[in-house]
Amino acid sequence: MTKPFEPLKLEGLDLEPTICARCGFCTFVCPAYLDTLWDSQSPRGKLFQLAKLIRSKKPIPADFAARIFNCTLCGACQEICQTDIPLLRFWQLVRQEIGNIEEWPEIVNYIDGALQETNNIMEMDQEDRMLWTDMVDDLVEGKTGIKAEVAYFAGCNISFKGTLAHMGENTVKIMTAAGVDFTILGEEEYCCGNPYFVAGGFEQGKELAKHNLKKMRDLGVKTVVFNCPGCHRSFAEEYPHLLGKEATAGLEFIPFSEFALRLLNEGKIKFTKNYPHEVAWHDPCELGRHQNYYNPAREILDAIPGLTLLEMKHTKNKARCCGGGGLLKGVNPMMSVRISGRRVEEATKVGAEFMASECPSCTMSINDGIEHIASEMKFKDLSQIVVEALGL
Ligand code: SF4
Ligand code: SF4
């Protein structure tokens, strides 16, 4: 089904397709292009099609809308673009326009409905937000909704998906061992809004942002710690963008790796145990390319006695996506898992004993990729490595 194409409204959005020099540098870094080898699926190809659509004012075809969502929002195209097109934001804004003409993919509509009804993407009862604390209930007892300078924000995936709960458990164990006084929001923790933001649903995510920030303010929080780069990016980048810089003034948002590194540098945690493992580090796109966090995780891994850090062929700002970003896992699970499998192959080539990262979405995708290619590779979240190396 096609609908009349509404002219792209946001300032500058109609300009980018004309700036593109058609050099094609972006094609060979784009996981969606590398999966299909269709130029129409590459960043260059999509810009070309968009330019034609804007000129002709033709209805937006459903297959073009699908192509825009066959994208992990990994940002590799932006990183390499020789004409400096801010492609990451651009793809989000095009998705926003697709939402405006009610052509969002089914999975995005489902998430939208779940968020409106339950304030989490799982459509679960908010009372179950604390499911992740099951194995550390003694450590979080009395921590919900108390005043503290440090808050831990678990996010929907860690809160509700049992296979990811260990990230929250690990962070709580580390905070406790380091003597950090912390609070958690419990059922007052709402989705960070990231699923909306990656779909271009900026207005829809506003109330979630306001709620989460108000709860942090009410509890006197100064620093919020995240295991999920998507949640972190929402607070650190999208909230001030949506609500103005004053909305987050005085609040610090830090990913797990930076938090753990701070504890290490302050002498609150110390690695003394030998941890003889060869680990390939995977940079999550939302921390690396999106926010320039490359070093904290590497500094932690370097500080662990016996651990050998291996860099894959594509690393840091050139790291290949895990396949799970940009809602691709929901929109096109087969493309997503093929991309994940390719990332696992890279780690195998450098002789890694296991892969590691710091992201619930990467954890799911890489584990799916391992299964998809029937690999012997293993995967660990950074918080797991820290807990094991500390002997907690
Ligand atoms: S963000 Fe990543 S997947 Fe999307 S078009 Fe750019 S390179 Fe391709
Ligand atoms: S790298 Fe930039 S200028 Fe070159 S084709 Fe891709 S989007 Fe266009």
* 382/323 same-domain check: yes
**The CATH number of the domain where 174 resides is what?**
3.40.50
Q: What is the pLDDT of residues 104-157, one digit of tens each?
A: 999 999 999 999 999 999 999 999 999 999 999 999 999 999 999 999 999 999
Residues 215 and 135 in one domain: yes
Taking the CA of residue 76 as reference, the ligand 1 atom at the shortest distance is 7
Distance 45 CA to ligand 2 centre (A): 9
Residues 184 and 258 reside in one and the same domain: yes
CA distance 212 to 333: 30
Q: Say if ligand 2 is within 6 A of residue 21 CB.
A: yes
- Could you tell me the residue range of the domain that residue 35 belongs to? 16-103
- Cα 66 to Cα 94: distance, rounded to the nearest angstrom: 12
Residue 342: C-alpha distances to residues 6, 260, 286 (Å): 38, 30, 19
Locate the ligand 1 atom nearest the alpha carbon of residue 43 and give its number: 5
Q: Which two tokens stand for residue 25?
A: 């540098």
Question: In this structure, which ligand is nearest to the CA of 43?
Answer: 1
Each residue's pLDDT tens digit, 155-214: 999 999 999 999 999 999 999 999 999 999 999 999 999 999 999 999 999 999 999 999
Q: Which of 213, 242, 263 is the last residue of a domain?
A: 263
- The pLDDT tens digits of the residues spanning 1-47 come to 333 333 444 445 667 777 899 999 999 999 999 999 999 999 999 99
Half-sphere exposure of 36 (CA within 13 A, CB side): 18
Q: Ligand 2 in contact with 15 (CB < 6 A)?
A: no
pLDDT at 137: 95
Whether 87 and 174 share a structural domain: no
Locate the ligand 1 atom nearest the alpha carbon of residue 78 and give its number. 6
Both 316 and 338 in one domain: the answer is: yes
pTM for the full predicted model? 0.95
Residue 110 domain flag = no
User: Are 364 and 371 within 8 A, CB to CB?
Assistant: no
Residues 148 and 243 in one domain: yes
Co-location of 230 and 296 in the same domain:
no
Q: Is the CB of 82 under 6 A from ligand 2?
A: yes
* 287 CB within 6 A, ligand 2: no
Q: What ligand 2 atom has the least distance to the C-alpha of 19?
A: 3
Q: Does residue 219 sit within a domain?
A: yes
Dist. CA 210–CA 205, nearest whole Å: 9
Domain count along the chain: 3
